[in-house]
Amino acid sequence: MSLPAQPSPGNRWLAFAVLCAMQMMVVVDISIVTVSLRSIQSDLGFPEARLAWITNAYTIGFGGLLLLSGRLGDLIGRKRMFVSGLSLFTVASALCGAAQNQEMLIAMRFLQGAGAAMAHAVIMGIIFTIFTNPAELGKAMGISGFGQAAGASLGIIAGGLLTDGVNWHWVFYINVPIGLAALVIAVRSIPSDRGMGLDKGADFLGAALVTSGMMLAVYTIATVAEYGWASGHTLGFGIGAVVLLSAFVGRAATAAQPLVPLGIFRSRNLSGANTVHFLLVGGTMSFNILIALYMQQVAGYSPAETGFAYLPLAVAAGACSVALSARLNMRFGLRTVMIGSLALVAAGLLLALRTPTDPAYALDILPTAVLLGAGSGLAMPAVIMMSMQVRSPSEAGLASGLAGSAGTIGDSLGIAALTAIAAAHTQSALDGGTDAKTALTDGFHLSFGVAAALVVAAIAVAVTVLREVPMGPPPGAGGPDGPGVEAMPGTADAPGVPSVTDPEGARP
């Protein structure tokens, strides 16, 4: 793949702003409808059992197409893939807002997820291409990490304000002006690149297997709450997903030009970081949804009040990811920062176990929000940078798609599993004669504990699997690229440093 010419510093940050805006919209649109579901249900007449499809349709389109989109970005050009995905996402958002019936909303949510996958899958590949200076890359990853760490919280904040202040249609319409402005800027500022060409890896059979397998897997996970883990529906579709994905692995091992070369997983850091990403998102995203339900169903908060309650989490995530993550990563290394920040997340989730049926916000919810925001804001940039360690720049889009897929599957599985666990425990308590508020609180507590266990498992993976990646001195310490800068691992100016494109961890 031919690398694009480096844009000017002004255009570089303008392009990055567009990428971050899309990255944040992708995450926000997973959670923004959470506090709007009841309004949508009332307006469009959704039955209770079908309401979850407003979220599931988006997740299936997003998770099912991420891996394919990342590889296609490497083959046909990442800018072309990004602009196409952003265009589809914007049009689908407008049609979601205009939906007058259930079928139209669900179909457009799927298209919205598909457009999000096309754009999101290549974002990291573009960022790593336009930022070769280590200090700039560290700063960029900190800002990017804020969008991923705080996106769910910002979605709930925006959803609450728009639903209470205007109506649920604007939960989707808000994407349209942002998307149109982003398209204009993206065309002008993102450097053009030429992909390797479809003849370098257009494995259409592999693409069909992995796309159908991923979609079926996400569908199975997303409908667990409706059908149950042991139902014929879940087992049947789950087996089907396993068969398709197994066939894809077999195809990847034997094809001359596979869609996903299995050798990419030889990197301990790439494989380990994706596992950490899966567990971290599985715990934190599901917690964000569940704590929003807790605040409305137990504490009695309105949608807008629930949104404002999330502000400290978003502020903490922003402050830590933007102001601290780059400095800490360069001083201590990605693995060390990741382990410490995951410990903060786990502590915040464990604190949530003490939330009562009549919570005092400052005492019972605020500490968890601050710890979760700070930990996520520091963890996400380190996780993403570690997961982008590939052998060749031509694999950057694929690595970006893998990272996105790990997060999406973790999100879907976490939400499905933890909501099912909370609901089952609540029903058991109600059957035993417990009052409704206490039963709900007990169910939420059990799911919070499972979320904490997922993050503790992520810490174990980081400790045992990942290898440290030295990032150089923090800004101000001096280095070969100018004052306060040492070359980023993976660049030609960093002799003797484990390379991102040929990492030490790539050797089994």
Contact assessment for residue 106 and residue 58, using Cβ atoms and an 8 Å cutoff: no
Write out the DSSP string of 238-286.
HHHHHHHHHHHHHHHHH-SS-SS-GGGGG-HHHHHHHHHHHHHHHHHHH
398 or 270, which is more confident: 270
Residues 6+ apart with CB under 8 A from 340: 378
Spatial separation of the C-alpha atoms in residues 162 and 265, rounded to whole Å: 43
Per-residue pLDDT tens for 52-68?
A: 778 878 887 887 787 78
Predicted pLDDT at 83:
95
Given a cut of 60, whether residue 495 has pLDDT beyond it is no
**Residues 340-378: tens digit of each pLDDT:** 999 999 999 999 999 999 999 999 999 999 999 899 989
Q: What is the pLDDT of residue 471?
A: 62
Which helix (H) or strand (E) is 55 found in, with range?
Answer: helix 53-76
pLDDT of residue 160 exceeding 90, the answer is no
2-27 average pLDDT score: 75
Interacting residues of 456 by C-beta distance below 8 A, sequence separation 6+ = 346
Reported as a single tens digit per residue, the pLDDT across 278-310 is: 999 889 988 888 888 898 889 888 777 877 887
Of 244 and 496, the structure prediction assigns the larger pLDDT to 244
Rounded CA-CA distance 105/44 in Å is: 9
Position 374 scores a pLDDT of 92
User: Is the predicted pLDDT of residue 277 greater than 90, yes or no?
Assistant: yes
- CA distances to 234, 325, 383 from 474, in Å: 50, 11, 19
Q: What's the mean pLDDT when you consider all of the chain?
A: 80
pLDDT confidence tier of residue 6, bands split at 50, 70 and 90? low
Q: Which residues contact 332 (CB under 8 A, 6 or more apart)?
A: none
CATH number of 9-201+259-506: 1.20.1250.20
**Which of 260, 312, 366 is closest to 154 using CA atoms?**
312
Q: What is the pLDDT of residue 446?
A: 94
Highest mean pLDDT among 1-15, 237-251, 484-498: 237-251
460 — pLDDT class (breaks 50, 70, 90): very high
Most confident of 79-93, 113-127, 465-479: 79-93
Predicted TM-score (pTM) of the model is 0.74
- Name the residue with higher pLDDT: 45 or 180: 180
Q: Which two tokens stand for residue 144?
A: 């990017």
Is the distance from CB of 340 to CB of 459 less than 8 angstroms? Answer: no
What pLDDT, on the 0 to 100 scale, is given for residue 199? Answer: 67
**pLDDT > 90 fraction of the chain, expressed in percent and rounded:** 29
pLDDT at 464: 95
Higher pLDDT, 115 or 501: 115
Of 195, 136, 57, give the one whose Cα is nearest residue 482. Answer: 136
Digit-coded pLDDT (tens) for 380-430: 888 988 887 766 666 666 777 777 778 777 877 787 778 878 888 888 899
Average pLDDT (233-261) is 88
Q: Band the pLDDT of 492: cuts 50, 70, 90.
A: very low
Is the pLDDT at 239 greater than 60, yes or no?
yes
pLDDT of residue 158 exceeding 90: no
Instruction: Work out whether the CA dihedral 492, 498, 501, 504 comes out positive or negative.
Output: positive
